[in-house]
Amino acid sequence: MWGIIRQRAACKGNHALNLEQGIRAIALRAFSSSAKQMTVRDALNSALDEEMSADPKVFIMGEEVGEYQGAYKISKGLLDKYGPDRVVDTPITEAGFAGIGVGAAYYGLRPVIEFMTFNFSMQAIDHIINSAAKSNYMSAGQISVPIVFRGPNGAAAGVGAQHSQCYAAWYGAIPGLKVLAPYSSEDARGLLKAAIRDPDPVVFLENELLYGESFPISDEVLDSSFSLPIGKAKIEREGKDVTITAFSKMVGYALQAADILAKEGINAEVINLRTIRPLDRSTINSSVRKTNRLVTVEEGFPQHGVGAEICATVVEDSFEYLDAPVERIAGADVPMPYAANLERMAVPQVEDIVRAAKRACYRSR
Amino acid sequence: MYRSMVTLQIMDTIFYEAQRQGRISFYLTSMGEEAINIATAAALTSDDVVLPQYREPGILLWRGFTLEQFTAQLFGTKDGNDKGRQMPIHYGSNQLNYFTVSSPIATQLPQAVGVAYSLKMDNKEACAVAFMGDGCTSEGDFHAGMNFAAVLEAPVIFICRNNGWAISTPISEQFRSDGVVVKGQAYGIRSIRVDGNDTLAVYSAIRTAREMAIREQKPILVEALTYRVGHHSTSDDSTKYRSSNEIEHWRTARNPTTRFRKWVQTNGWWRDEDETELRESIRKHVLNAIQVADKTEKPSLEELFTEVYDRVPPNLREQEKSLRETVKRH
């Protein structure tokens, strides 16, 4: 009873307050008032370039990374600049080049291994998990594996079941790995640099559809020493009525949903996870303790997903603060269909997030 | 070399018994493959990086791993340089350039190419050496490793211990090719087949392979023919799938250690008295090491959480704290 009265008061919203929140949100989204724009592709390319320039041990390996300039042009220009010893084109053997990367990392180099899509990483998953993730532990620190496995993850557009799976939950379960999922260009630059400099193995989950998207970027982010901390989520938009967590492409959708919700008087706080493992439990919980409601959003399959973990985390740490059951938005529990209309229904849309937030606020069923 | 071969034999016998007595959970012997173990180690330098499969502890022995260190790993004590993290026989030593044994078969092959690539980029006078068994050549990683080694021109020596058996699978059921040496040729890798029970032949082949690999910066495949005298491991009883006569024959008449002993004695460098003395002293040493390890403490609680990552993350510190509290309460 108290819960309903409290939420009615909260969700009614104060328009002036909303405007202030909106402006603060825009300011948060852009690091400063600088008007430079950068695509995620250029952000990743520049990060690779700068880290390769700073440390001769860093090298890139994968299919099409050299002569072809990268399957998605992420490594454009790097072969010309650094030569074939540091930008290595490989035959089509994921198990091979992932294994070679691990071996090279064992011996002290810092490989950046590109999978054309993380769907293909399954052919190399033994090397990622049994070798890269576990070696430091099994050898009691004698073998460290400073490797980065990167590539597009999750759904693209019209590529069907074997090219659309999200691996955040799979890799996020493994002790010994760090798993990152950037959204904006700032995220892409800062997190990739952090990943390359990190002594532990990192799985870096990009998104094909975000490569071409442009984001405002500040001078601080453009500096070659810039990096973002691993394990720290970012509050993209502050709010007080409901917390929405998301990562990668879904952050954009969550922000759009938040705009729609604002018009209906619901003030949503959007958290960009940035890191899947280690999950920033403290930022998520502080937010839920403030808003008392949670909606988790991800593209991947629902069972054993990232949202399931976040829900468990919040139940463990902030149960008394929840005023409503946690709402979990995820991809449909089916292999990704190809037909455009079916694909649209298999992936979360902005309307799904809006509806979930309203359900959490007891504004609809 | 002969002394090391005898040490390996005795070590294997006693540790195998220790498992049978329930003192360690698992063991796997290299019986019948002492020549490959020791001769390859002797032919390499300590700068050459070895990625073993799991039947090559002789390399560590040659390079200076002590019987105490072997025992500490087997018993999972706090003195083990793996801090009790790995199951028995999964030795590893950074200082001795011997990568920790990894259970999944063949993963070490593409990894060896990666190590060789690092050595190449560093311009080092050394090569990577990857060991494998006959069964290993069926894994996908074998194809990946060989192909990459050839294409990337990596200074790696692939040594296949073709001992006739992969647990209960004989080579006739493993592949239909003429052994492993032809597989190397298919990838454009220069390959050679050698009698793995002839200590001097193995030594000579590996010496030359090493020179070629480093000078030309290209891979070499060596197929060493031998026989797995012991069971696959303590979890196996090979009399169930092969005749005891066959095992006996290879254990006695075709034994590489005995064969080398004959040669060494014929040259007047060894006598029967030396043999008895050596065996006695090694036995004593191993038994003593076991006694010590038996009494040594296991690793402390905090070692459960270290080295998962480079630095212990906050969530693991919390878990350690709550574990200590639980232990205290009960």
Question: DSSP labels for B192-236?
Answer: EEEETT-HHHHHHHHHHHHHHHHHHT--EEEEEE----S-SSTT-
For residue B20, what pLDDT band results from cuts at 50, 70 and 90?
A: very high
- Pair type for strands A234-237 and A268-272: antiparallel
- CA–CA distance, B89 with B72 (Å, rounded to integer): 11
**B58, pLDDT greater than 90:** yes
Among A residues 216-235, those touching chain B with beta carbons less than 8 Å apart: 231
Other CB atoms closer than 10 Å to residue A192's CB: what's the count?
Answer: 29
What would the mean pLDDT of A175-195 be, rounded to a whole number? 98
Q: Which helix (H) or strand (E) holds A179?
A: strand A178-180
Of A243-247, B213-217, B324-328, minimum mean pLDDT range: B324-328
pLDDT (mean) for A68-80: 94
| φ, ψ for residue A354, nearest 5 deg | -60, -45
Pairing of strands B49-51, B128-133: parallel
Q: How confident is the model at residue B84 (pLDDT cuts 50, 70, 90)?
A: confident
Rounded Cα distance, B100 and A139, in Å = 6
Interface test with B, best of A86, A100, A197, A198 (most B CBs within 10 A): A100
Asked if residue A236 has pLDDT above 60, the reply is yes
Mean pLDDT of B20-43: 95
In the prediction, which pLDDT does B81 show? 87
Kindly identify which residue of chain A lies nearest to residue B139, measuring between CA atoms.
Answer: A95
**Mean pLDDT calculated for residue range B276-280:** 96
CB–CB of A96 and B49 under 8 A?
A: no
Going by pLDDT thresholds of 50, 70 and 90, the confidence category of residue B304 is: confident
Distance from CA of B325 to the nearest CA of A (A): 18
Whether this model's ipTM surpasses 0.90 comes out as no
Span of A93-97, A313-317, B4-8 with lowest mean pLDDT: A93-97
What is the chain A residue with the closest CA to B92? A139
pLDDT of amino acid A33: 53
- 3-state SS assignment for residue A152: strand
Residue A327 to residue A294: CA distance in whole angstroms: 6
* Contact status of B6 with chain A (Cβ, < 8 Å): no
Q: What is the pLDDT of residue A34?
A: 56
Give me the helices (H) in chain B, please: 2-20, 34-43, 57-63, 67-75, 108-121, 140-152, 171-174, 181-186, 199-216, 244-251, 256-266, 272-295, 314-329
Listed residue (B115, B123, B136) closest to B53, CA to CA: B136
Entry pTM: 0.82
Q: How many angstroms separate the CA atoms of A122 and A101, rounded?
A: 16
CA distance A281 to A97: 34
Catalytically annotated residues of A:
94, 163
The rounded distance, in Å, linking the Cα atoms of A44 and A84 is 20
Q: Transcribe A244-265 into DSSP letters.
A: EEE-THHHHHHHHHHHHHHHTT
What's the whole-number mean pLDDT along residues A105-119?
95
Q: State yes or no: cis peptide before A278, omega within 30 of 0.
A: yes
Short-list A302, A109, A284, A310, CA closest to B120: A109
Instruction: Tell whether the model's pLDDT for residue B165 goes beyond 90.
Output: yes
Mutant choice from B83, B97, B115, B300 vs A, greatest count of A C-beta within 10 A: B115
Residue A18 has pLDDT above 60, yes or no: no
User: Sorting pLDDT into bands at 50, 70 and 90, what band is B85?
Assistant: confident
B96-130 b/e with 16+ CB inside 10 Å = b? bbbbbbbeebbbbbbbbbbbbbbbbbeebebbbbb
* Strand pairing category for A275-277 and A178-180: antiparallel
The secondary element (H helix, E strand) that includes residue A270 is strand A268-272
A 101-120 residues inside an 8 A Cβ radius of B: 101-109, 111
Q: What is the pLDDT of residue B11?
A: 97
Helix (H, G, I), strand (E, B) or coil at A283: helix
Determine the Cα–Cα distance for residues B46 and B97; give it in Å rounded to an integer.
7
**Of B242, B237, B209, B206, the residue nearest B227 (C-alpha):** B242
Tell if the CB–CB gap between B81 and A178 is shorter than 8 Å.
no
User: Cβ of A14: how many Cβ atoms within 10 Å?
Assistant: 11
Chain CA centroid to CA A205, Å? 6
Confidence band of A6 (pLDDT split at 50, 70, 90): very low
Average model confidence (pLDDT) for chain A?
91
Which range is least confidently modeled, A26-30, B48-52, B215-219? A26-30
Cα(B185)–Cα(B181) distance, rounded to whole angstroms?
A: 7
For residues A107-136, give the mean pLDDT. Answer: 95
**Which residue do the tokens 């390399």 mark?**
B59
- pLDDT tens-digit map of B178-219: 999 999 999 999 999 999 999 999 999 999 999 999 999 999
Whole-number Å distance between alpha carbons of A203 and A151: 9
Q: Are B236 and B229 in contact (CB under 8 A)?
A: no
Six token digits for residue A102:
């691990």
Q: B170: part of which helix (H) or strand (E)?
A: strand B169-170
Active site residue B118: no
Which is catalytic among the residues B102, B138, B204, B233?
A: B233
Which residue of chain B is at minimal alpha-carbon distance from A139? Answer: B82
Of A106, A200, A281, the CB nearest to B99: A106
Is the pLDDT at B292 greater than 50? The verdict is yes
What is the reported pLDDT for A8?
A: 44
Length reported for chain B: 330
pLDDT tops 70 at residue A12 = no
Gyration radius of chain A's alpha carbons: 21
Strand partners, B23: none
Compute the Cα dihedral for B117, B118, B119, B122 and give only its sign: positive
Residue A126 CB partners (closer than 8 Å, separation 6+): A95, B104, B107
pLDDT of residue A259: 98
Confidence of residue A306 (pLDDT cuts 50, 70, 90): very high
For residue A107, the chain B residues in CB contact (below 8 A) are 49, 114-115, 118-119
* Per-residue pLDDT at B315: 86
Mean pLDDT estimate for chain B: 94
Site from B81, B93, B111 to mutate, A interface, most A CB atoms within 10 angstroms: B111
Q: Which percentage of chain A shows pLDDT scores above 70?
A: 90
Q: Given an 8 Å threshold on Cβ–Cβ distance, is A200 in contact with B86?
A: no
Answer yes or no: is pLDDT of A21 > 80: no
Q: Would you say residue A11 has pLDDT above 70?
A: no
Listed residue (B103, B25, B71) closest to A135, CA to CA: B103
**Average pLDDT estimate for B7-24:** 95
Which residues on neighbouring strands pair with residue A237, listed in sequence order? Answer: A270
- pLDDT value of residue A175: 97
**Contact state of B110 with A142 under an 8 Å Cβ cutoff:** no
Share of chain B above pLDDT 70, in %: 100
The answer to whether B168 is a known catalytic residue is no
Contact between A214 and A28 (Cβ < 8 Å): no
Portion 122-161 of B in contact with A at CB < 8 A: 128, 140-141, 143-145, 147-148, 151-152
| Residue A363 pLDDT class (50, 70, 90 cuts) | confident
Q: Which of A320, A307, A317, A290 is nearest to A356 (CA)?
A: A307
Check: CB of residue A348 under 8 Å from CB of residue A297.
yes
User: Does A54 have pLDDT greater than 70?
Assistant: yes
- Whether residue B51 lies within 8 A of chain A, CB to CB, comes out as yes
How sure is the predictor about A1, in pLDDT bands with cuts at 50, 70 and 90? very low
Could you give the C-alpha distances from B321 to A299, B85, B325, B330, in angstroms and in order?
35, 20, 6, 15
Q: Is the pLDDT of residue B318 over 60?
A: yes
